[in-house]
Structure 1
Amino acid sequence: MHLLLRTLLVLFRSRRRSALGFFDTSSLPMRVLPTDIDIAMHLNNGMYLSLMDLGRFDLMVRSGFWGAMRRKGWSPVVGNETISFRKSLELGQRYTIETKVIGFDDRATYLEQRMVADGEIYARAYIAARFVSTQGPVSNEDIFKAAGVLPPADLEVPEWIRQWREDGALPSTRRPAPHTWN
């Protein structure tokens, strides 16, 4: 809820920005706002991933996939994400959220996102997302058809990302996941 207004602004403004292909890199200009910072006066670590949602929305809208996805009643959901921090973004600082689809497998769409300021990476995240409908997960074939694309032949998920997803996965919602500490 804390980013609802910014989300609506991105969805509105992205429609007026230049079109992108589904496999292009989105670059969303941003500024660190007072609502983004913590007591140390820099972008709060929890806000990075929330703000990166906006970068994914920008890519989906500008590639035309957002409209197709919404018409079909699909929703994007994040299954795994990991982030590394390098430098702090300070109050008022301008930066961009760079977003790129880096691969697919039978369970997820993988994206790399970066917070970039002055030509330097301040933070980088990897996201495993999927699209779901009322009937369940959406297949890659349906995603490509809705996006009007074929995946590039050289688009291959790095092995370490496959391992990261496997190692960090929780049981499916159809299996129990009891709360016990090992």
Structure 2
Amino acid sequence: MRWIRLLLTLVKAKLKPKANATDTFVISFRVWITDIDVYIMNHAAILTVMETGRLDLMVRSNFFKIASKNKWYFPSQAISVQYYRPLKIFQKAQLHTRISYIDEKWIYVEQKIVRNEKIVATCLVKSTIKKGRETIPTSEIIDLLKIKNVPTKRYDLINTYELESAQMSSRLVDNWKE
């Protein structure tokens, strides 16, 4: 069912007005029966919803069109999610997506799911732009998309995220002990 949600998002995004990549993108969604484990929306389904928000951003900001033309793709290097409240079957919620920081290589996207003005989950995604094994400088996409007000202030959240990511890699990748 994941592909249906992604396909619907793609079609809806193409019908919505274009937007600047630094805008906040909001999409509404409903919890489907296939999204739940016993009673609440499962983590995989929430991650899929968050992926739809990034897809909406890419299509509406014209990145998707430019990326397709240049054979670029937008892999996520790391995703950190915090869950605060459950979503139950058939409940409606909104996903807010925005770019929070861009440096020469990385694009950080913040996302939050909101229901009845309460935060359900938050997410920080670190991504880059690739063509094959080549990393495309973010300045190139900024120029092509004519992005104004590029978020270049590195918040404490990004610093903490990078520190935790390095510690996780050190422990789980470099020093895994059986």
Shift, 1:74, TM fit:
0.6
Q: Against the structure 1 CA distance between its residues 179 and 46, is the aligned structure 2 distance closer, same or farther, given a 3 Å change threshold?
A: farther
1:3-152 equivalences under 5 Å are 3-39=2-38, 41-152=39-150
Matched-pair contact (CA < 8 Å) for 2:25–2:97: yes
Q: Does 1:180 align with 2:176?
A: yes
Letter in 1 for 2:44: G
State how far apart, in whole Å, the 1-side matches of 2:117 and 2:9 are.
Answer: 22
1:29-54 per-residue CA deviation (whole Å, 9 max, x = no partner) reads 10000111112x11102322222010
In angstroms, what is the RMSD of aligned CA positions?
Answer: 2.0
State how far apart, in whole Å, the 2-side matches of 1:51 and 1:179 are.
Answer: 33
State how far apart, in whole Å, the 2-side matches of 1:107 and 1:148 are.
Answer: 17
Aligned length: 174
1:145-164 equivalences under 5 Å are 145-152=143-150, 155-164=152-161
Percentage of identical aligned residues = 22
Q: Which runs of 4+ in 1 moved over 6 A?
A: none
State how far apart, in whole Å, the 1-side matches of 2:164 and 2:119 are.
Answer: 26
Matched-pair contact (CA < 8 Å) for 1:128–1:165: no
1:80-103 per-residue CA deviation (whole Å, 9 max, x = no partner) reads 111111111110001111100001
Letter in 1 for 2:32: L
1:94-129 per-residue CA deviation (whole Å, 9 max, x = no partner) reads 111110000112331001101111222111111111
| Structure 1 residue runs without a partner (length 5+) | 172-176
Normalised by the length of structure 2, the TM-score is: 0.88
Equivalent in the alignment of 1:174:
none
State how far apart, in whole Å, the 2-side matches of 1:77 and 1:89 are.
Answer: 27
Q: Against the structure 1 CA distance between its residues 160 and 27, is the aligned structure 2 distance closer, same or farther, given a 3 Å change threshold?
A: closer
Letter in 2 for 1:168: S
Shift, 1:166, TM fit:
4.1
State how far apart, in whole Å, the 2-side matches of 1:43 and 1:157 are.
Answer: 33
Matched-pair contact (CA < 8 Å) for 2:85–2:120: yes
SS at match of 1:121: strand
Matched-pair contact (CA < 8 Å) for 1:144–1:151: no
Normalised by the length of structure 1, the TM-score is: 0.87
